[in-house]
Amino acid sequence: MDRMAVRLWAKGRDPLNAARAELGLGPVAHPFDQVFRAERFLVLTSRAFDFPVPGLPANVRYVGPRLEDPVWSGGWTPPPGDDPLVLVGLSSTYMAQEATLGRIVDALGTLPVRAVVTLGPALEGVSLRAPANVVVTPTAPHAEVLRHASAAISHGGHGTTIKALAAGVPLVVIPAGRDQPDNAERVKAAGAGIRLSPKASADAIRAAVAEVLVEERYRVAAQRLAAEIAADLREDLALAELEALASGAAASGAREPAAAAL
């Protein structure tokens, strides 16, 4: 699997080197080489969310996540009622998620909850038949919704997942691909939620949502991660690292500018 992943990334070497040449930087033999040449590699998440990494390279820094909502997320008003609020978001890019989203809506329609389902740009124009307790909307500011939420259903993308955990909200994660299965395992390992298959039935989804709402251990784990994420965000660690580089506080002899990635 590692060799296959490396081959996939290698396809990006030529356009990467073209971009590097425009910036006056020498070529790399492989895209991953850029990570090791950079003075700083900024990992935009909390170390508490990641698995333990033995022998972390000296140029790598965890600097906490960026929790800002995109400018297109718009405003939002909580639906009426007192039942627990559940946020649903399955990626802002298209991953053939319509069938999964339909089963989620069916599951939520049988639970005593208020649900907010955000379609995002990827599903613009998609129509879902929603029961009375489920609001389907093109967009909503997730960080704001999560302040009211008792649970979230996510595809496991880092943005939605880390926002939920930063709010102390437990998750049901239904990963479809990319980094999502890894993030789902992080949530599961932390005890902050449940991972389901993208083929999970409406009954399985309903049972998982009911479990994270009722079992306090999921919320306790999510709140523990929220406290650690908050500690990372007390100051802008990414900005501090970049300012240190700009002021010459970084080690001498570095050849590359800072790079940033999850």
CATH number at residue 174: 3.40.50.2000
**Stretch 83-105: mean pLDDT, rounded?**
84
Q: How far is CA 10 from CA 35, 164, 259, in A?
A: 14, 33, 18
Predicted pLDDT of residue 249: 53
Q: How many domains does the chain have?
A: 2
Q: Which has more pLDDT, 124 or 31? A: 31
Report the pLDDT averaged over residues 191-220. Answer: 95
Most confident of 23-37, 93-107, 168-182: 168-182
Segment among 46-50, 69-73, 222-226, 256-260 with least mean pLDDT: 256-260
Of residues 222 and 71, more confidence is placed in 222
Residues 115 and 207 in one domain: yes
Residues 130 and 219 in one domain: yes
Do residues 53 and 113 share a domain? no
What pTM was estimated for this model as a whole?
0.84
Same-domain pairing of 42 and 99: no
Residue 79 shares a structural domain with residue 164 = yes
More confident residue, 248 or 199: 199
Query: Is 118 in the same domain as 216?
Result: yes
**Minimal CA–CA distance to 229: which of 42, 101, 45?**
45
Mean pLDDT lowest among 103-117, 191-205, 243-257: 243-257
> Nearest Cα to 92, choosing from 57, 139, 55?
139
If asked whether residues 227 and 239 sit together in one domain, one would say no
pLDDT tens-digit map of 24-69: 989 998 888 887 788 888 999 999 999 988 888 888 889 999 888 8
Q: With bands split at pLDDT 50, 70 and 90, how would you rate the model's confidence at 19?
A: very high
**pLDDT at 262 > cutoff 50:** no
d(CA 148, CA 199): 29
Give pLDDT, residue 250.
46
Residue 211 and residue 121 share a domain: yes
Percent residues over pLDDT 90 in the chain: 47
For residues 126 and 214, membership in a common domain is answered with yes
Q: What is the pLDDT of residue 163?
A: 94
Average pLDDT over residues 107-129: 84
Long-range contacts of the stretch 46-52 (C-beta < 8 A, 24+)? 46/162, 46/225, 46/228, 46/229, 46/232, 47/232, 48/225, 48/228, 48/229, 48/232, 49/162, 49/165, 49/186, 49/190, 49/225, 49/229, 50/186, 51/186, 51/189
Per-residue confidence at 78, pLDDT binned at 50, 70, 90?
A: confident
What is the average pLDDT value for the chain, to the nearest integer? 87
Grouping H, G, I as helix, E, B as strand and the rest as coil, residue 118 is strand
Domain residue limits at 202: 71-231
Residue with more model confidence, 248 or 86: 86
Position 122 pLDDT exceeds 80: no
If asked whether residues 114 and 19 sit together in one domain, one would say no
Residues 6 or more apart whose CB falls under 8 angstroms from that of 167 comprise 143, 146, 147, 149, 226
What Cα–Cα distance (Å) separates residue 108 from each residue in 103, 153, 212?
A: 9, 10, 13
Instruction: Say whether both 165 and 186 belong to one domain.
Output: yes
pLDDT at 126 over 80: no
Query: What are the two backbone dihedrals, phi and then psi, of residue 7, each rounded to the nearest 5 degrees?
Result: -65, -40
Q: Is 115 in a helix, a strand, or coil? A: strand
- Indicate if 85 and 178 belong to the same structural domain: yes
Asked if 59 and 41 touch (Cβ cutoff 8 Å), the reply is yes
Has residue 259 got a pLDDT over 80?
Answer: no
Of residues 77, 109, 132, 147, the one with CA closest to residue 101: 109
